[in-house]
Amino acid sequence: MRKRFVVAIAAALAAVAGMASFERQAGATLLRAALDERAGLDRTASLGDGLHVALCGTGSPLPDPTRAGACTVIIAGKHIFVVDSGEGGARNIVLMGIPNGRIEGVFLTHFHSDHIDGLGPMMLLRWTGNGATSPLPIYGPPGVERVVAGFDAAYALDSGYRTAHHGPVIAPPSGAGGIARPFAIPPRGSNDRVVVFDADGLRVSAFRVDHGPVDPAVGYRFDYKGRSVVVSGDTTTSPALVAAARGTDLLVHEGLQPKLVKLVTAALTRRGITGTAQITRDILSYHASPEAVAREAQAAGVRFVVFSHVIPQMPSRLMYPAFLGDARQLYDGPIMVGEDGMMFSLAPGSRGVEFTRPPIG
């Protein structure tokens, strides 16, 4: 009896060991297959010439496991730029199959933490992604110099370690960090725009928006081969934005639904979290509701609206109608809530906007 028991135990242990060996082999096989499919993936290679917009971050400072911080990729011909660099945005760019090493620059709309706190990874992945020999240009209104200098100082030791470890071919010392590209912005009350980049048929212009007390704050318009995209940055209603978005094909606009935020405030108050509750009251004053954006888009003749920097958190798509509120009744074009990973393509010679949802990961 005892012998049979020992044999049974030995057989069970052998089976467990065999299973563990199988799991190790299966895990390695699965990883190999995933690497064969994704390593070095460049989804931009299959994009036709035109203006393409990828949402690499549609969240806000309110924690949301499904959304990275503010981040939008603009692809125009051979150019790849990023608007804002919120936490997690650089990671999502990789997961979307967009080569970080080809990013030519970052346009910052303002200096709130959730729009800049991903600059470290953005600079690092672009630097090591192609052995860049010059820093990442970071465009922004006055003050961008301080932001870039701060990140460069914070990452100086890390940059030195990486060059020492990987060598100057992979991590050239001259390519680490960022370099500020400040530009003057129009005066308050002006609907003017200033051109901040103009090459190869791509023109990028900036305009002042109203995110007070945050100042300066800007939005950007991208024009390429007869197609156009406007990224609002953070703003309440703004005549300058309406002027900049006149006739644009796609408006990527921040959005806050006051009715839902008030529910958040009430819940926080009930739990005695008074500090955060006050913050959720304060943010009502310097963001735009979906209804307000819909009115502005209608007045500007915008052809397609997508919301980013979504407030409050949207844990389920079932909440989207409540977020949009009456916006669909106030705007007669397509309007939708953005999600991380979405891509919009605007082909030259067309008026259409093609929407796709490539998988992240």
Q: Domain coordinates of the chain in residue numbers?
A: 1-39, 46-104+184-356
Q: How confident is the model at residue 43 (pLDDT cuts 50, 70, 90)?
A: confident
The pTM score is 0.91
State residue 329's pLDDT score.
97
- Looking at residue 347, its pLDDT comes to 95
pLDDT, tens digit, 9 for 90 and up, residues 233-287? 999 999 999 999 999 999 999 999 999 999 999 999 999 999 999 999 999 999 9
Which pair of tokens denotes residue 302?
């915008």
Cα–Cα distance for residue pair 9/29, rounded to 1 Å: 30
Residue matched to tokens 């992979």: 170
Closest CA to 119 of 93, 140, 138: 138
What is the fold of 46-104+184-356?
A: Metallo-beta-lactamase; Chain A (3.60.15)
Least confidently predicted of 12-21, 62-71, 103-112, 331-340: 12-21
Of 114, 210, 249, 340, the active-site residue reads 114
Helix/strand/coil for 147? helix
Which residues lie across from 306 on neighbouring strands?
252, 336
* 254 vs 231: CA distance, rounded Å: 9
pLDDT at position 275: 95
Quote the pLDDT of residue 315: 85
Amino acid identity for residue 243 in this structure? A
pLDDT reading at 10 higher than 60: no
Looking at residue 56, its amino acid is C
The per-residue pLDDT for 291 is 98
pLDDT tens readout for residues 77-125: 999 999 999 999 999 999 999 999 999 999 999 999 999 999 999 999 9
Query: For residue 18, what pLDDT band results from cuts at 50, 70 and 90?
Result: low
Q: Which residue has the tokens 């735009």?
A: 288
Mean pLDDT across the chain: 92
Share of the chain above pLDDT 70, in %: 89
**Segment holding 297, helix H or strand E:** helix 290-300
Q: Please say if 114 is a catalytic residue.
A: yes
- pLDDT value of residue 6: 53
Q: Is 90 exceeded by the pLDDT of residue 15?
A: no
Nearest to 300 by CA among 232, 214, 201: 232
Does the pLDDT of residue 356 top 90, yes or no? no
pLDDT score at 42 = 81
* 179 membership: H or E segment, kind and range: strand 178-182
pLDDT-derived band at 46 (thresholds 50, 70, 90) equals confident
pLDDT tens digits along 192-246: 999 999 999 999 999 999 999 999 999 999 999 999 999 999 999 999 999 999 9
> Rounded to whole angstroms, how far apart are CA atoms 74 and 229?
9
